[in-house]
Amino acid sequence: MKKYIIISVIALSAIFNAQAQGSKTITYPTALEINQAQALWFNTSNAAGMIVTPLNNYNTLSVGYNVKNGEYRLQQEGNQQALKINTSGATNLGKARLWGEFTYQNITETDTRYNTTMLDVVPDMPYFVGDPNISYWKKQSYNMSVKAASPVLWDLVAFGASANYFTKNGAKQIDPRSESFKYGISVEPAVVFTLGTKHSIGLTFLYLNSFERTVPVNSNNQQDQIAYIMRGVGNYTDGVVGSLSGMGTFYYKTNKIGTSLQYNFNGDRSALLAEVKSSFQVVDVFQTPTKPRRMGTTAQMLMGGNIQYINNGDDFTSKVTLDGYHKNNNGIEYIQEIDATYEVQQWVTIAKFIRSRYVFNAATLKFDLYRNSDEGYDWMAGAQGIFSDRTDEYILPHSTFTAKNVYGELFGKKNIMAGDNSVLIGINAGYNFNLGGGYDYNGAEPTSKVVKDLYERDNAILCANYYQVGLDIKASFPIGKSTALYIAGNCQYLRSNDTMNDNLYACDNDGSNFRWEYKTADLRNPSQRVIATISIGFTF
Amino acid sequence: MRKYILLVLILLTAVSCEQFKDIQNVDAIAQIGANVSVTTTTVAADVPRPDSYVVKFTNYDDKYEVSSKTDANGKVAVNDIIPGKYTVTVSGEIAYKGFTYYYSGSLTNINIIESGKSYNVDVVASKAGSLILKEIYFNGASGYYFKDQFYEIYNNGDEVQYVDKLCIGNILPTTASTTTYEWIVPDGHPENYIYMASVWQVPGDGNDYPVKPGESIIIAQGAQNHHALRPASPVDLSGAEFETFIVNQTVNPDNPNSINMDLRVDFNVFGTQWLVTVFGGAYAIFIPEETIDNTTWVTPKGSSSKAKEVLIETVIDAVEIVNNATKITQKRMPTSLDAGATYTGATYTGKSVSRRIREVKEDGRIIYWDTNNSTEDFQVNPQAVVRRDGVGVPSWNTWAK
């Protein structure tokens, strides 16, 4: 499979590059940014709309190294180092439009806890295996996306489709360890109807299928390892990895369908695009493929929408984006028993109930202002506000995990031209203000590590005030008629020394041990996190 | 090619439709009620009944427990049950003419998912005084050492017990798992038996090996000082009363002091020692009514596994040990003998399981819990100890230190 992916990527790059030869000048980072902001349809689910507001032709290829380090993080997240190779491009194919992207990542995560099996830990999936051992993961991922749009036919309609294929594998490196594999594919056919020159409406249908398989094992096969079979909001069943009776292979089967509807108004200088979308996703979790036992199911309904408004002036371009969604995820658990009949020997479902609910609401309002220039923009400034409201609930025994936050940020960038060279310098500063939240556990194990070390600490992190500042630099150097080399670096610094409910989000003086309980000021350092990226690449 | 793509799309849609259909009309969980009536149909009429019984609903998956007391008619209604798989245990006791009568009964792995259902639990009565399995050390010591397994049998009653002809063994399946057997027995009533993979018997003529109240005997896999042989082992078994010595082998030495048990059923005895799985077996002690005939056996449907059937009514005590908490619902021992299960959770740790102390008599004699529910009766010990709590050694054991 890997070789087909690599061949596809090379072919994709070659096609894009061949299409682009001799037709353009240097693509500066600022030009790419403002072009993506102006391509309103590109920022929706509708690929066919690319024909209405097309991206300019471009190609990029980059190699980057990402670091995430520091104690201000969720327990399962750990610290991270990642090598990332990315290529993307947009081009014409006859009168059609084509866009593609491929990303490869090689990731090392250290100091992770309470995740024995999952390649990606997400709040939407309460059914996984965790263990208290501090561990590290090695992961690789391949992600390929394409969007295609036909020309407008009969002055009325354009067809398109987007597709994504990803595969990810990884292994946890400390007992209890696991070897995990995941793949997924999604396709989203799309159509756009143009109603005159100013109005268009679009429609898409989404189908996604994904599968993940993970095998928990021990290297030391004479030392069983404690594990927790998680069921949500701190509830779990005791488990063991290793021995004849240890946990079997876990696997996740995902199907998702969705639809979206768009309306676009294109004025002389301004444009508006509104989108509403919904999707429904079911993930079934099983253990032991040869005698499948249901570990749970999640059924998720998502409804959301976004509005983009852009004004293209002679000197300035401004854009307002409003995005929001509501996600309702039900956790279903099963009562099962073994049918012990000699010929059958299988788990049979006796009853099933919704045992937990996970509701997430989020809204983002963003404003960008660009000072136009020949290279894209001379400077830009903006602000954004993000509201998020998470409510996890285990119905019986009743427990809740909530966190409500609002984050505000100001940002700006300045492009400095030195001959044909460009240096884009950006800064950002933001503050997260917690509006409320808490963890109220009423299950059977109130003093367990899962409750104390995982959920209480994670809730403390998610309910903390913190500030974030960042610096972004991207230097671009032309090395040919239409090719530029760029070097980019980005660093974000988060810091919280907040206290709430006697919890202190701080670490020991040596920086080694994150503390959530109260400590006196002389024994602590503020909890902080650094997220840094450095990359080198080409635009051509 | 197009027809294959179409076929794949149709298949994927069908699969996803099935997945979506499965989660339709699933209700949110809510508490429900259940009624329990306790009966004593097998208890003789002249045996006194308790005023009430304690009824306990245990959901091992949810670690959820509800407990309530019956009325004088043995009935109780419980209203705060979370739907699920439950073990219902009933216990009661009454003191009468110097004896304490213990009542116990259970229903295991019943699905309580609808409100208002009624369940009947028929309890049995036993006078304190039976021999009990007091401590079992099965999971071995660090370094994969398992030759130090032992079983302690204690006189929990008020009268002298003779262990002559007492048998100990483990049943099939040897390890708790989702694999179960449909046994075929000559009388057509497989529910009346347990199925022994191995049986060892104490020699004697009926009054050779008395065990007084408060005393215990040790049955060792090998009666050696294992701690001296392997420091990781927590036990010195050189003073064990009995050992399960395999004759005609020289790998494991014979302790000349310790009395050798007779191997009566060897369907699961291999090599040079009686090794019961370090993950935890299901053990029973019993005194057979007749000499055990090891030339006959039974097998389950579709399997060649051999076992010796033993009537449940002859069993004196039984203990189910499983690997860990997730295996309790896969227990093997009939609930009439052990309504629960105990476990240490890991192998080669030197841990053991032993009964919890129920009371200490004025003379210092200890009475241990014996409600036929090892989940309730047993505790997990960080280290196995021979004759924990300082219980007595039989007077005829002159070699114990």
pLDDT tens digit string along B172-189? 988 887 777 889 999 988
Tokens 């007091």 correspond to B134
Task: Give backbone dihedrals phi and psi of A276, rounded to 5 degrees, phi first.
Answer: -120, 145
Q: Which two tokens stand for residue A167?
A: 């595969």
Q: Does A335 touch chain B (CB under 8 A)?
A: yes
Largest separation between any pair of C-alpha atoms in chain A? 82
Q: Does A255 touch chain B (CB under 8 A)?
A: yes
pLDDT band with cut points at 50, 70 and 90 for residue A28 = confident
pLDDT tens digit string along A60-84? 999 999 999 998 899 999 999 999 9
Distance to chain B for A185, nearest Cα, Å = 11
Q: Which residues of B touch A337 (CB under 8 A)?
A: 85, 109, 111
Is the predicted pLDDT of residue A168 greater than 90, yes or no? Answer: yes
A29-43, A69-83, A501-515, B165-179: which has the minimum mean pLDDT? A501-515
Straight-line distance from the first to the last Cα atom of chain B, in angstroms, rounded to the nearest whole number? 84
Q: Cβ of B30 and A396 within 8 Å?
A: yes
Q: Which residues of B touch A443 (CB under 8 A)?
A: 63
Q: What is the pTM of this model?
A: 0.84
SS3 state at A470: strand
Q: Does A348 touch chain B (CB under 8 A)?
A: no
| Neighbouring C-beta atoms of residue A19, cutoff 10 Å | 17
Which distant-in-sequence residues (6+ apart) come within 8 Å of B74 by Cβ?
B37, B38, B39, B40, B52, B53
Three-class secondary structure assignment of A19-74 = HHCCCCCCCCHHHHHHHHHHCHHHHCCCCHHHHCCCCCCEEEEEEEEEEEECCCCC
State the ipTM, two decimals: 0.86
Q: Which two tokens stand for residue A128?
A: 């996984």
A13-17, B13-17, B107-111: which has the minimum mean pLDDT? A13-17
Q: Does A226 touch chain B (CB under 8 A)?
A: yes
Query: How would you classify the pairing of strands B84-96 and B99-112?
Result: antiparallel
What is the chain A residue with the closest CA to B19?
A: A282
Q: Which two tokens stand for residue A61?
A: 């290829």
Mean pLDDT, range B211-232, rounded to an integer: 95
User: Rounded distance, CA A239 to CA A116, Å?
Assistant: 12
pLDDT band with cut points at 50, 70 and 90 for residue A402 = very high
Task: Give backbone dihedrals phi and psi of B165, rounded to 5 degrees, phi first.
Answer: 70, 5
The per-residue pLDDT for B386 is 96
User: Rounded distance, CA A415 to CA A258, Å?
Assistant: 40
pLDDT band with cut points at 50, 70 and 90 for residue B214 = very high
Is the predicted pLDDT of residue A198 greater than 90, yes or no? Answer: yes
The per-residue pLDDT for B370 is 87
The closest CB to that of B64, out of A297, A345, A444, belongs to A444
pLDDT tens digit string along B95-143? 776 667 778 888 888 999 999 999 999 988 766 557 999 999 999 998 8
DSSP per position, B31-43:
-EEEEEEEE-TTS
- Interface size, chain A vs chain B, as Cβ–Cβ contacts under 8 Å: 128
Element (H, E) at A139: strand A135-149
Q: Cβ of B84 and A229 within 8 Å?
A: no
Tokens 């194990």 correspond to A445
**Pick from A317, A371, A363, A377: nearest CA to A33:** A377
Q: Which two tokens stand for residue A300?
A: 């998720």
Q: Cβ of B27 and A240 within 8 Å?
A: no
Q: Cβ of A223 and B346 within 8 Å?
A: yes
Q: Region of B280 please: left (phi>0), alpha (psi -120 to 50) or beta.
A: left
Distance to chain B for A286, nearest Cα, Å = 13
Q: Does A433 touch chain B (CB under 8 A)?
A: no
Starting at the edge strand that comes first in sequence, how are the strands of the sheet with B242-243 ordered?
B259-260, B242-243, B216-220, B150-155, B131-137, B352-355, B378-381
Percent of chain A residues topping a pLDDT of 70: 89
Percent of chain A residues topping a pLDDT of 90: 77
The per-residue pLDDT for A276 is 98
The per-residue pLDDT for B137 is 97
The per-residue pLDDT for B2 is 58
Q: Cβ of A224 and B347 within 8 Å?
A: yes
The closest CB to that of A332, out of B26, B30, B113, belongs to B26
Percent of chain B residues topping a pLDDT of 90: 55
Distance to chain A for B115, nearest Cα, Å = 13
| Neighbouring C-beta atoms of residue B45, cutoff 10 Å | 6
Is the predicted pLDDT of residue A6 greater than 60, yes or no? Answer: no
**Pick from A516, A401, A504: nearest CA to A455:** A401
Taking CA atoms, B278 is separated from A29, A43, A241, B147, B236, in Å, by: 65, 60, 16, 10, 19
pLDDT band with cut points at 50, 70 and 90 for residue A19 = very low
Q: Cβ of A239 and B279 within 8 Å?
A: no
Residue window 442-471, chain A: list those with CB within 8 Å of chain B.
Answer: 443-445
| Neighbouring C-beta atoms of residue A95, cutoff 10 Å | 11
Q: Does A227 touch chain B (CB under 8 A)?
A: no
pLDDT tens digit string along B149-163? 999 999 998 889 999
Is the predicted pLDDT of residue B14 greater than 70, yes or no? Answer: no
Is the predicted pLDDT of residue A23 greater than 50, yes or no? Answer: no
Q: Which two tokens stand for residue A270?
A: 């301004």
Bigger pLDDT: B328 vs B369: B369
CATH of domain B2-127: 2.60.40.10
Q: Cβ of B348 and A223 within 8 Å?
A: yes
A120-134, B237-251, B321-335: which has the minimum mean pLDDT? B321-335
User: Rounded distance, CA B170 to CA B338, Å?
Assistant: 14
Distance to chain B for A538, nearest Cα, Å = 37
Taking CA atoms, A276 is separated from A52, A159, A326, in Å, by: 18, 19, 12
User: Rounded distance, CA B139 to CA B153, Å?
Assistant: 18
pLDDT band with cut points at 50, 70 and 90 for residue A24 = very low
**Pick from B179, B138, B168, B213: nearest CA to B365:** B213
The per-residue pLDDT for B13 is 61
DSSP per position, B90-152:
EEEEEEETTEEEEEEEEEEEEEE-STTEEEEEE-EEEETT-EEEEEEE-S-BTTTB-TT-EEE
Element (H, E) at B201: strand B193-201
Is the predicted pLDDT of residue B290 greater than 90, yes or no? Answer: no
Distance to chain A for B280, nearest Cα, Å = 11
What is the chain A residue with the closest CA to B143?
A: A222
Q: Cβ of B346 and A354 within 8 Å?
A: no
pLDDT mean across residues, chain A: 90
Q: Which two tokens stand for residue B63?
A: 């670690």
Q: Can you say how many angstroms the Cα of residue B75 is from the centroid of all Cα atoms in its chain?
A: 28
Distance to chain A for B257, nearest Cα, Å = 34
What is the chain A residue with the closest CA to B64?
A: A444
Percent of chain B residues topping a pLDDT of 70: 94
Q: Does A338 touch chain B (CB under 8 A)?
A: yes
Mean pLDDT, range A432-439, rounded to an integer: 93
Is the predicted pLDDT of residue A520 greater than 70, yes or no? Answer: no
User: Rounded distance, CA B37 to CA B272, Å?
Assistant: 50
User: Rounded distance, CA B132 to CA B373, Å?
Assistant: 12
Q: Cβ of A226 and B20 within 8 Å?
A: no
The per-residue pLDDT for A115 is 95
Q: Cβ of A338 and B180 within 8 Å?
A: yes
The per-residue pLDDT for A18 is 45
The per-residue pLDDT for A14 is 46
Query: How would you classify the pairing of strands B183-184 and B161-162?
Result: unpaired
Q: Does A418 touch chain B (CB under 8 A)?
A: no
The closest CB to that of A444, out of B63, B175, B300, belongs to B63
Is the predicted pLDDT of residue B352 greater than 50, yes or no? Answer: yes
Radius of gyration in angstroms for the set of CA atoms belonging to chain A, rounded to a whole number: 25
pLDDT band with cut points at 50, 70 and 90 for residue B376 = confident
Distance to chain A for B63, nearest Cα, Å = 6
- Each domain of chain B, given as residue ranges in start order, spans 2-127, 131-390
Q: Does A274 touch chain B (CB under 8 A)?
A: no
Q: Does A332 touch chain B (CB under 8 A)?
A: yes
SS3 state at B299: strand
The closest CB to that of B61, out of A237, A282, A332, belongs to A237
DSSP per position, A383-446:
EEEEEEEEEEEETTTTEEEEEEEEEEEEEEEEEEEETTEEEEEEEEEEEEEEEEEEEE--SS-T
Residue type, A3: K
Helices first, then strands: H and E counts in chain B: 3, 27
Tokens 């038996």 correspond to B193
Looking at residue A153, what DSSP letter applies?
B
User: Rounded distance, CA B177 to CA B336, Å?
Assistant: 20
Q: Cβ of B109 and A337 within 8 Å?
A: yes
pLDDT band with cut points at 50, 70 and 90 for residue A25 = low
Q: Does A342 touch chain B (CB under 8 A)?
A: yes
Q: Which two tokens stand for residue B390?
A: 């300082």
pLDDT tens digit string along B59-77? 988 889 999 999 999 999 9
User: Rounded distance, CA A417 to CA A425, Å?
Assistant: 11
The per-residue pLDDT for A22 is 40
Is the predicted pLDDT of residue A532 greater than 90, yes or no? Answer: yes
Cis peptide before B210 (omega within 30 of 0): no
Radius of gyration in angstroms for the set of CA atoms belonging to chain B, rounded to a whole number: 24
Residue window 55-94, chain A: list those with CB within 8 Å of chain B.
Answer: none
Q: Cβ of A351 and B345 within 8 Å?
A: no
Q: Cβ of A340 and B182 within 8 Å?
A: yes
pLDDT tens digit string along A404-429? 999 999 999 999 999 889 999 999 99
